[in-house]
């Protein structure tokens, strides 16, 4: 394992501060490194591997598609993508689908669609988008431009122009940024990297009403919080605040790189036209097969029900830890997207947990983020809590 790490350091671009582990295989909610050490995974590849590892139905579906057809081109139709789009429309309540390769690419498409929608209305090219402070939408230039954290943007400026930032859950701050050039308001229904901040129902409804009144598009980023993670297929469905454009990715393919942006019929009919947008790999047969089997397994295995039940159990466990240890400030989140907020940086706690066979990640310097596979049980929560309590006890 040490040799592989040394080879990686010599060959790969140093854009990640990686933990000193080479993961080799997975089974259920556990991962194993090259030396056979077992880890309980409460990260799921950053909210990606919702169905856990080595799911036979999932693996067999992908193997069958690989043997049949992996890629053609979007100049032609393919059945897996068509079936995937139908299923995704059903669970999301949206009307039009564009498959991408990643969440960042989905955000890029959403930005383009919003600007084209406004351009077709008035022919102007100076429209503005309002995004939120502390948000995270991706690393590409468009997605980075609407990411509300200067540390991600400053070295790469100038960004794309005409982006304004408001405060999440502060409607007056949004209203203060609105001009006659505003074409879209964009935010994560639950901020992930920004600290596990859910949008409040009143905020969402006020923004939605504003958008309807002024013909501004509401774009909701459901890349991390979607696909059942909060106990609803998409987090906005809890409040019934339907977006005009929605982005999704991560658990959509459960490991196969695939994302999508979806639109209402009204938005789709009045925005991107033939030649306005494209992708070489997006929606290829392999990606379509992944989305198909994932959505099938979500339904067959009652994943949403498990998230609601186990998520409530996880909340109670984390609340108990917060009450027990003075170093913990509070808990935030919903379902199986939770955060423990500490009074200090959490990097050393995450490292100690890894040594003890528990994989955790942070969200900012002072928050431990819990985004496990959506198939975890109460027993897995107990196992995680025992290891984390041991780490906190050592600190105390």
- Predicted confidence at residue 395, as pLDDT, reads 74
Residue 159 makes CB contacts below 8 A (sequence gap 6+) with 141, 144, 145, 153
Residue 222 to residue 225: CA distance in whole angstroms? 5
- Predicted confidence at residue 394, as pLDDT, reads 86
Residue 107 to residue 225: CA distance in whole angstroms? 14
Helix axes 347-355, 378-395, angle to 10 degrees: 120
Residue 151 to residue 189: CA distance in whole angstroms? 22
Contact 30, 39 (CB under 8 A): yes
Helix residue ranges per DSSP H, the chain: 2-11, 44-47, 56-68, 79-92, 103-122, 141-145, 150-153, 171-177, 201-214, 265-269, 285-300, 303-324, 347-355, 378-395
Strand ranges across the sheet with 337-342: 328-334, 337-342, 367-370, 361-362
**Domains in the chain, CATH or no CATH each:** 2-55+302-395 (3.90.1150.10), 69-300 (3.40.640.10)
DSSP tally for the chain: helices H, then strands E: 14, 17
Contact 191, 136 (CB under 8 A): yes
Contact 179, 163 (CB under 8 A): no
Closest alpha carbon to 8 in 27, 23, 25: 23
Contact 173, 166 (CB under 8 A): yes
SS (H, E, C) 75-90: CCCCHHHHHHHHHHHH
Beta-bridged to residue 368, according to DSSP, are 340, 362
- By three-state DSSP, how is residue 106 classified? helix
Residue 377 makes CB contacts below 8 A (sequence gap 6+) with 310
Can you tell me which residue has the tokens 């039940």?
309
- Predicted confidence at residue 396, as pLDDT, reads 60
Query: Beta-carbon neighbour count of residue 124 at 10 Å?
Result: 12
pLDDT by position in tens, the chain (length 396)? 999 999 999 999 999 999 999 999 999 999 999 999 999 999 999 999 999 999 999 999 999 999 999 999 999 999 999 999 999 999 999 999 999 999 999 999 999 999 999 999 999 999 999 999 999 999 999 999 999 999 999 999 999 999 999 999 999 999 999 999 999 999 999 999 999 999 999 999 999 999 999 999 999 999 999 999 999 999 999 999 999 999 999 999 999 999 999 999 999 999 999 999 999 999 999 999 999 999 999 999 999 999 999 999 999 999 999 999 999 999 999 999 999 999 999 999 999 999 999 999 999 999 999 999 999 999 999 999 999 999 999 876
């Amino acid at each position: 394992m040490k040799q592989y790490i040394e080879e990686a350091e010599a060959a790969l671009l140093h854009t990640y501060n990686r933990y000193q582990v080479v993961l080799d295989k997975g089974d259920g909610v556990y991962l194993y490194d090259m030396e056979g050490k077992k880890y309980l995974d409460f990260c799921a590849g950053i909210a990606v591997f919702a169905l856990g590892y080595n799911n036979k139905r999932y693996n067999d579906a992908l193997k069958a598609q690989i043997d049949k057809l992996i890629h053609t081109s979007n100049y032609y139709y393919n059945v897996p993508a068509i079936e995937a789009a139908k299923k995704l429309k059903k669970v999301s309540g949206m009307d039009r689908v564009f498959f991408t390769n990643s969440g960042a690419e989905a955000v890029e498409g959403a930005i383009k669609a919003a600007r084209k929608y406004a351009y077709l209305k008035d022919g102007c090219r100076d429209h503005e988008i309002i995004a939120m402070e502390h948000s995270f939408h991706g690393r590409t230039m468009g997605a980075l431009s609407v990411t509300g954290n200067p540390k991600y943007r400053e070295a790469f400026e100038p960004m794309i122009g005409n982006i304004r930032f408001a405060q999440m859950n502060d409607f007056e701050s949004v209203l203060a940024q609105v001009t006659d050039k505003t074409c879209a308001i964009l935010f994560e229904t639950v901020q992930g990297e920004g600290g596990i901040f859910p949008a409040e129902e009143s905020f969402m409804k006020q923004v939605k009403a504003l958008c309807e009144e002024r013909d501004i598009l509401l774009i909701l980023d459901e890349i991390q919080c979607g696909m059942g993670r909060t106990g609803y297929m998409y987090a906005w469905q809890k409040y019934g605040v339907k977006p005009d454009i929605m982005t999704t990715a991560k658990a959509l393919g459960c490991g196969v790189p695939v994302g999508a942006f979806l639109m209402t019929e009204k938005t789709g009919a009045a925005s991107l036209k033939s030649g306005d947008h494209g992708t070489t790999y997006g929606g290829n047969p392999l990606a379509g097969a992944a989305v198909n089997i994932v959505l099938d397994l979500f339904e067959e295995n009652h994943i949403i029900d498990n998230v609601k039940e186990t998520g409530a159990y996880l909340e109670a466990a984390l609340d108990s830890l917060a009450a027990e240890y003075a170093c913990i400030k509070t808990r935030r989140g919903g379902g199986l997207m939770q955060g423990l907020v500490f009074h200090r940086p959490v990097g050393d706690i995450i490292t100690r947990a890894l040594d003890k066979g528990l994989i955790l990640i942070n969200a900012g310097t002072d928050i431990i983020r819990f985004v496990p596979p959506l198939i975890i049980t109460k027993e897995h929560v107990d196992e995680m809590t025992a290891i984390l309590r041991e780490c906190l006890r050592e600190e105390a």
